[in-house]
């Protein structure tokens, strides 16, 4: 039997277990939860020990007595109500209100004197500004009320993988943390503005987490694609229709690469601009942010230009998994839609690994007593 890692965690809204993959072998998952059947099946397909700790169902139906005592709790609560693609309903929204289902469990564990000393809340950047910042303030008030100090970091997965995917990580702790504070490139303008909007009593509990920057990324979008011969290309008619949706500046970027004759790979999203559908292409080596098929934007398209020929196709689930930083051995659902559903709702494991290595592990491994125990 493999010895379990000494660091333990709870993972709520676990999806396909991408936060667990990012945390790595130095951590042991004591409990995981998701209510989505497709994501639950994907989790089970990827983790042999899922039967021991995975709970499929609504977070509101979980009782605190069934939860083990752990070092850390991770919550990637549903983000649609915070996303620019969603209704921006905030914490009162139907899906994002699942956060409070998670938070009542943290409150109950704390009342039992066995709550985790460290909590991570991961979400879209819209969390910082939803309802003019009132939702972020409500989150900070909830953390403060349970004795946690906290700070936020905005990390774009593009620093690690060729996908533009900014996310906010609120790291809350009851352990002494001065040694882990300092300047960070992830203390972005949006994070600083969110701090400025907080009342003074909440600002007093803020920690400026000193997470450093990773080395420069050494892969681009073209590097993660399947061979052209194995791809399912769109018809020439569909490609022409896609090009016809481009504004002049985007079409000019395509034409420039046609003239050079060299190979170029771009990612395309269809968006509504001033009431009209437009196709927007980028050739900077990055894919746009992956979304679920039900999201506010269409499924992402690839545009490949080679020797003057223009071809287009949809991104595959396996390519999406690579953009998330998942290994090729990660088991995906059988259907394209289900695969993209799981991938589009996940957190990029390389981001989690950097956060764990540089911040969470030093914090959890600290021998100091928690503030709650003092």
The CATH number of the domain holding residue 367 is 3.40.50.150
pLDDT given at position 1:
29
- Which of the listed residues 300, 315, 330 is the one where a domain comes to its end? 315
Say if 156 falls within a structural domain. Answer: yes
pLDDT given at position 373:
40
pTM: 0.91
pLDDT given at position 300:
86
Nearest to 27 by CA among 39, 16, 19: 19
Q: Are residues 134 and 232 in the same domain?
A: no
DSSP code at position 223 = G
Number of domains in the chain: 2
Q: Are 350 and 22 in contact (CB under 8 A)?
A: yes
Q: Are residues 194 and 78 in the same domain?
A: yes
Q: Are residues 136 and 210 in the same domain?
A: yes
Q: Are residues 101 and 158 in the same domain?
A: yes
- Which of the listed residues 270, 296, 315 is the one where a domain comes to its end? 315
pLDDT given at position 214:
97
Q: Are residues 369 and 288 in the same domain?
A: no
Element (H, E) at 230: none
Q: Are residues 146 and 190 in the same domain?
A: yes
pLDDT given at position 273:
86
Half-sphere exposure of 84 (CA within 13 A, CB side): 6
> Between the CA atoms of 124, 126, 129 and 132, what dihedral angle is there, to the nearest 10 degrees?
-130
Say if 95 falls within a structural domain. Answer: yes
Residues 214 and 84: their CA atoms lie apart, in Å, by 27
Say if 112 falls within a structural domain. Answer: yes
- Which of the listed residues 297, 315, 333 is the one where a domain comes to its end? 315
Say if 200 falls within a structural domain. Answer: yes
Adjacent-strand bridge partners of 287: 163
Do the strands 7-12 and 27-34 form a parallel or antiparallel pair, or are they unpaired?
parallel
User: Which structural domain, as residue segments, surrounds residue 40?
Assistant: 7-215+343-373
Q: Are residues 32 and 173 in the same domain?
A: yes
Q: Are 91 and 139 in contact (CB under 8 A)?
A: yes
pLDDT given at position 274:
87
One digit per residue, the tens of pLDDT, for the chain of length 374 reads 244 568 999 999 999 999 999 999 999 999 999 999 999 999 999 999 999 999 999 999 999 999 999 999 999 987 555 443 344 455 555 544 788 889 999 999 999 999 999 999 999 999 999 889 988 998 999 999 999 999 999 999 999 999 999 999 999 999 999 999 999 999 999 999 999 999 999 999 999 999 999 999 999 999 999 999 999 999 999 999 999 999 999 999 999 999 999 999 999 988 888 888 999 999 999 999 998 776 444 578 999 999 999 999 999 999 999 999 999 999 999 999 899 999 999 999 999 999 999 999 999 998 654 444 44
Residues 354 and 144: their CA atoms lie apart, in Å, by 26
Adjacent-strand bridge partners of 268: 281, 301
Q: In sequence order, which residues have a C-beta less than 8 Å from that of residue 146 and are 6 or more positions away?
A: 106, 107, 110, 115
Residues 210 and 311: their CA atoms lie apart, in Å, by 44
Say if 116 falls within a structural domain. Answer: yes
For 258-268, give one letter per residue: b (16+ CB within 10 A) or e. eeeeeebbbbb
DSSP code at position 55 = E
Say if 244 falls within a structural domain. Answer: yes
Q: What share of the chain is helix, strand, coil (3-state, %, to 5)?
A: 40, 20, 40
Q: Are residues 179 and 233 in the same domain?
A: no
For residue 176, the SS3 value is: coil
Q: Are residues 68 and 147 in the same domain?
A: yes
Residues 69 and 28: their CA atoms lie apart, in Å, by 12
Say if 355 falls within a structural domain. Answer: yes
Q: Are residues 103 and 134 in the same domain?
A: yes
Q: Are residues 250 and 208 in the same domain?
A: no
Q: Are 101 and 60 in contact (CB under 8 A)?
A: yes
Q: Which CB contacts under 8 angstroms, 24+ apart, belong to 253-261? A: 253/281, 253/283, 254/281, 254/303, 254/305, 254/310, 257/283, 257/305, 258/305, 258/308, 258/310, 259/308, 261/307, 261/308
Say if 334 falls within a structural domain. Answer: no
Q: Are residues 14 and 36 in the same domain?
A: yes
């Amino acid at each position: 039997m493999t010895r379990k890692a000494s660091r333990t965690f709870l993972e709520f809204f676990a999806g396909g277990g991408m936060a667990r993959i990012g945390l790595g072998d130095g951590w042991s998952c004591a409990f995981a939860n998701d209510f989505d059947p497709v994501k639950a099946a994907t989790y089970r397909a990827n983790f042999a020990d899922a039967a021991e700790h995975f709970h499929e169902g609504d977070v509101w139906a979980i009782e605190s007595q069934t939860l083990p005592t752990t070092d850390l709790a991770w919550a990637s609560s549903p983000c649609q109500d915070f996303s620019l693609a969603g209704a921006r309903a905030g914490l009162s929204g139907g899906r994002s209100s699942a956060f409070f289902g998670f938070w009542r469990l943290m409150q109950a564990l704390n009342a039992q004197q066995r709550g985790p000393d460290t909590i991570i809340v991961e979400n879209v950047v819209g969390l910082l500004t939803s309802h003019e910042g009132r939702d972020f303030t409500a989150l900070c008030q909830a953390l403060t009320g349970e004795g946690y100090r906290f700070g936020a970091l905005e990390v774009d997965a593009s620093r690690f993988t060729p996908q533009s995917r900014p996310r906010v990580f609120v790291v809350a702790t009851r352990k002494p943390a001065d040694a882990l504070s300092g300047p960070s490139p992830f203390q972005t303008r949006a994070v600083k503005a969110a701090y400025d909007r907080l009342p003074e009593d909440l600002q007093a509990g803020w920690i400026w987490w000193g997470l450093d920057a990773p080395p420069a990324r050494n892969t681009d979008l073209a590097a993660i694609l399947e061979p052209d011969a194995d791809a399912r290309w769109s018809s020439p008619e569909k490609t022409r229709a896609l090009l016809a949706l481009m504004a002049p500046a985007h079409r000019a970027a395509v034409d420039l690469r046609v003239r050079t004759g060299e190979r170029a790979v771009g990612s395309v999203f269809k968006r509504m601009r001033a009431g009209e559908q437009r196709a927007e292409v980028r050739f900077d080596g990055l894919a746009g942010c992956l979304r679920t098929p039900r999201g506010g934007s269409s499924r992402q398209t690839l545009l490949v230009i080679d020797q003057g020929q223009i071809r287009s196709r949809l991104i595959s689930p396996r390519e999406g998994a690579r953009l998330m930083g998942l290994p090729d051995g990660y088991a995906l659902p059988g259907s394209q839609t289900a695969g993209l559903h799981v991938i589009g709702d996940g957190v990029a494991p390389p981001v989690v690994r950097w956060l764990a290595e540089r911040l969470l592990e030093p914090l959890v491994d600290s021998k100091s007593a928690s503030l709650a125990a003092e």
